[in-house]
């Protein structure tokens, strides 16, 4: 599904946010962990199953309110292949529930290796005479340090499968400045990456005017965000850094164009860990996540009129 589909879903729900599914162990309510350890032992299988149940519970609570989910691959990989199996199931469940799925994998490799990654996450894998889906997400995050060789194979897969991607441009973390803010020629490095991203996607703009090559731009540097919004008019933004990392609704409003289009803001901790702030033991994690998601939507809506 392309950014057109995502923008349609954002408009339908009047909510330009995505819920991160980053199941750190301490985010999972104790009663879920305990039940899975009793059934499967304190094993990678048990931990993975707990993650799956938590994810499904969260998606049941967020369905119809939040248009997209973004599983972060690292928290599944740390559980080995059991975690990857649960990541496959999580993506399948998300799609059944109608969520747009962004696989946050930040892969970056070249040529046929980049093609293999794009098959894994967005496309299909040829086995004998058949083509099979591996992870089957709608969208991925990728890293362009290796240049356009690392981006083009993903673009080919996106064109063939009507999918889309986000390239890391200006990230929300404190040390992002070390490389990304260096002056390279007449531009900063992150602007070089932003320009490359938009250029590689040219001629792929959909009905809202966005190419299939989006950009990750953090909420924690609002002036950079504002400047990139002006510079990259055809580029859809994924905006991390809202909430726990310090970005506010006042900061993220710069990610949207004058029609309130062109960006989606992520929250992971704020939604997944909402149950830790209710003073109860996690039995209410679904209600707490839903309340937090609605509060985030309304917080951002005050500045952004999505039409």
Residues belonging to the active site: 106
Residue 72 interacting with its own copies (CB under 8 A):
yes
Task: For helices 222-231 and 189-200, give the axis angle rounded to 10 degrees.
Answer: 40
Cα angle: 300, vertex 70, 237; to 5 degrees: 55
Tell which one of 12, 81, 281, 302 touches its own copies (CB under 8 A): 81
Q: Does 119 bind its own copies (CB under 8 A)?
A: yes
Residues between 181 and 210 that touch its own copies (CB under 8 A): 182-185, 189, 192-193, 196
Residues of span 228-267 touching its own copies by CB under 8 A: none
Strands (E), the chain: 17-21, 68-71, 100-107, 124-127, 130-133, 139-142, 164-170, 183-184, 187-188, 213-217, 237-239, 263-267
Q: Which of 14, 53, 78, 92 binds its own copies (CB under 8 A)?
A: 78
CB of 136 within 8 A of CB of 104? no
Considering only residues 126 to 165 of the shown chain, the ones binding its own copies according to CB under 8 A are 126-130, 132, 134-135, 143-150
**255: which residues sit within 8 A by CB, 6+ positions away?**
217, 219, 225, 229, 237, 239, 262, 263, 265
Write out the binding residues for its own copies, residues 82-111 only, by CB under 8 A.
83-85, 87-88, 106-111
Is residue 35 a contact point for its own copies (CB under 8 A)? no
CB 163 within 8 A of CB 2: yes
Quick note: the x/- pattern for its own copies over 4-33, rule CB under 8 A, is: ------------------x-xx--------
Near its own copies by CB under 8 A: residue from 52, 75, 242, 275: 75
Count of residues of this chain found to bind its own copies when the rule CB under 8 A is applied: 71
* Residue 275 binds to its own copies (criterion: CB under 8 A): no
- 25 or 64: CB nearest its own copies: 25
8 A C-beta contact, residue 86 and residue 24: no
């Amino acid at each position: 599904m392309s950014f057109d589909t995502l923008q349609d879903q954002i408009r339908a729900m009047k909510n330009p946010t995505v819920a991160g599914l980053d199941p750190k162990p301490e985010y999972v309510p104790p009663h879920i962990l305990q039940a899975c350890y009793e059934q499967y032992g304190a094993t990678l299988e048990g931990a993975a199953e707990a993650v799956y149940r938590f994810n499904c519970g969260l998606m049941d609570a967020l369905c119809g309110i939040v248009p997209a989910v973004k599983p972060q691959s690292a928290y599944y990989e740390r559980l080995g292949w059991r975690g990857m199996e649960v990541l496959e199931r999580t993506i399948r469940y998300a799609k059944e529930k109608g969520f747009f799925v962004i696989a946050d994998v930040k892969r970056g490799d070249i040529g046929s290796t980049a093609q293999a990654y794009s098959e894994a996450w967005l496309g299909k894998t040829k086995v004998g005479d058949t083509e099979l889906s591996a992870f089957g997400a709608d969208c991925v995050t990728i890293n362009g340090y290796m240049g356009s060789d690392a981006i083009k194979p993903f673009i080919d897969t996106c064109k063939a499968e009507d999918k889309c991607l986000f390239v890391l441009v200006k990230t929300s973390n404190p040390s992002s400045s070390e490389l990304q803010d260096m002056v390279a020629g007449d531009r900063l490095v992150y602007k070089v990456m932003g320009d490359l991203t938009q250029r590689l996607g040219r001629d792929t703009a959909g009905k809202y005017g966005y190419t299939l090559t989006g950009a990750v731009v953090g909420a924690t540097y609002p002036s950079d965000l504002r400047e990139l919004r002006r510079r990259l008019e055809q580029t859809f933004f994924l905006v991390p850094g809202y909430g726990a990392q310090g970005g506010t609704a006042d900061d993220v409003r710069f990610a949207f164009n004058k029609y309130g289009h062109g960006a989606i803001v992520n929250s992971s901790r704020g939604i997944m860990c909402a149950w830790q702030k209710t003073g109860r033991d996690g039995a209410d994690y679904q209600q707490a996540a839903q309340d937090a998601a609605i509060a985030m939507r309304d917080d951002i809506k005050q500045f952004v009129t999505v039409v």
